[in-house]
Amino acid sequence: MQNGMAGGVAADDLDGLRAAFETLSAGFAAERYPALEVRRDRLDRLWDVLDRYADRLCDALGSDFGYRSPRQSYFADVATTGKFIRLTRRGVRRWMKPERRSVEFLFALFGASARVEYQPLGVVGILSPWNIPVNLTLTPLAGVLAAGNRALVKPSEHTPATAEVMSEMLRSAFAPDEVGVVTGGVETGRAFSRLPLDHLVFTGGEAIARHIMRDAADNLTPLTLELGGKSPVIVGRSADLDLAVRRIAFGKVFNAGQVCLAPDYVFVHRGDIERFVQSMQAELARTLPAGADDPDFVSVINDRQGDRIRRYIGEAEAAGVRVLSAAKPGSDGGNRIPITLMVDPPDQLAVSREEIFGPILVIRGYESIDEVLAYINARPRALALYYFGRDAAEQRQVISGTASGGVTVNDVIMHYTIDDLPFGGVGASGMGAYHGFDGFRQFSHARAIYRQAGVDLGRVIRPPYGKLFDRFSRYTMSGK
């Protein structure tokens, strides 16, 4: 747990947390519908401060992880975030415009009109995770600010150095009534989710999300939950196997698999498993020549997560599962754990039941696509599903026959990088979505506005009722 100051609020200072929320609420009350230029200015400041603090953020990420490739840190947490902020700024003018909606012809003829205006919600809370902490804090923050809201942010206590830098950078760029930042552990997180926020964004695990939903329920706070899950990959027989291997390997090497969208298990036709395994081992050796010690790799975040991954491996080995490590563990003897392949582990093992969220890739054999879809559909809905293959009918079968937060065809993770696509889960993998216009709408109230016609056409539906009312009712029902 961090014990410094963040946004003027000490870690686990619950009175300070409440004061920060009240300051933001007062700021919103004084400016309920910020003008376009105000919103753009806030997004400009967010991009600028990210750029100025980029090196410090990468250093802090390296410190928090024990080792994290600086290049991966810059790309995952700085470059992609800056791109999103820039595109959000570009789109906000268009998103703010009222949307015209249709009106019954007769009413429209006499001047009635309908439109939707996107109104800011108020104060939006952001509880962000440890795995890609900068991106998964500032990306929703950009959407919150574009929609005209104020924001209260709590970074994860598991990346304290990064949380401290983010606290400082946001404090330097925004007034306390625009963006507030608090730090702390479980107690602060619970108190945060009990605030009467106008919306709450949480990225993390399903178990914690259940507690947050219960805490938020007392205030009927609406939620956006991004929860991950066991994202499956299906390699069809029509796929370019070697290309699929290269792209799937990237999904595990990136942040050592500590990504909510990382491929969790891969279905490969039984006739192709040996070729797939050999190709994957060769690709991992090419990608990370020094294995877990490679400068382009990433350590598992801490001992607790490292012990969990080692437990999966030990349990599988004890059960006689074929376990193939890409290389020896890191020379530091700590949490630099190499990418490990497991072939057909039994369903009762923890690695088969729990989200892996680390450097293990499970490979499962199949005989038919129907068998694969039945397996996937018998389990909780994942945040992502990936299909490799050139068979258009099979691709359609997979997409239509499953449910997941998102889909990438012939690659992994990449749908997240398309800023105009919604990003979110379904079922156990989350609720709500953000990114682009979908994020703008998520953090806005779509307010219906109707202007009645000058002629009093509504008199037909007011009592006393008669034959005209009866004819109008039948017309309303049938259009005849």
Is 187 an annotated catalytic residue?
no
Pairs from 307-314 (Cβ < 8 Å, separation ≥ 24): 308/358, 309/337, 309/356, 309/358, 309/359, 309/360, 310/337, 311/350, 312/349, 312/350, 312/351, 312/356, 312/358, 312/360, 313/340, 313/360
- Cis status, amide bond into 464, omega within 30 of 0: yes
123-127 and 150-154 as β-strands: parallel, antiparallel, unpaired?
Answer: parallel
DSSP-derived secondary structure letter, 465: P
- CA atoms within a 13 Å half-sphere pointing along the CA-CB vector of 203: 27
Q: Which residue has the tokens 């178990």?
A: 207
Q: What is the rounded distance in angstroms from the CA atom of residue 234 to the CA atom of residue 450?
A: 48
Query: What angle separates helix 160-173 from helix 36-52, to the nearest 10 degrees?
Result: 140
Instruction: At 165, list the tokens.
Output: 């830098």
**Which helix (H) or strand (E) is 136 found in, with range?**
helix 135-146
| Cα distances (Å, whole numbers) of residue 207 to 73, 200, 229, 288, 353 | 27, 17, 12, 34, 14
> Which residues lie below 8 Å from residue 206, measured CB to CB, with a gap of 6+?
227, 228, 229, 428
> Which residues lie below 8 Å from residue 417, measured CB to CB, with a gap of 6+?
80
| Cα distances (Å, whole numbers) of residue 197 to 150, 216, 425 | 10, 8, 22
Residue 298 contacts residue 68 (beta carbons within 8 Å):
yes
Residue 109 contacts residue 292 (beta carbons within 8 Å):
no
Instruction: Give the Cα-Cα-Cα angle 128, 133, 138 (nearest 5 degrees).
Output: 75
The residues facing 17 across adjacent strands are none
Residue 167 contacts residue 183 (beta carbons within 8 Å):
yes
Instruction: At 225, list the tokens.
Output: 């939950």
Catalytic residue among 58, 164, 168, 260: 260
Residue 326: which of 294, 364, 372 has the closest Cα? 294
Residue 376 contacts residue 402 (beta carbons within 8 Å):
yes
Q: What is the rounded distance in angstroms from the CA atom of residue 178 to the CA atom of residue 7?
A: 11
Specify the amino acid at residue 208.
Answer: I
Is 58 an annotated catalytic residue?
no
Catalytic residue among 157, 226, 283, 355: 226
Which residues are catalytically annotated?
A: 226, 260
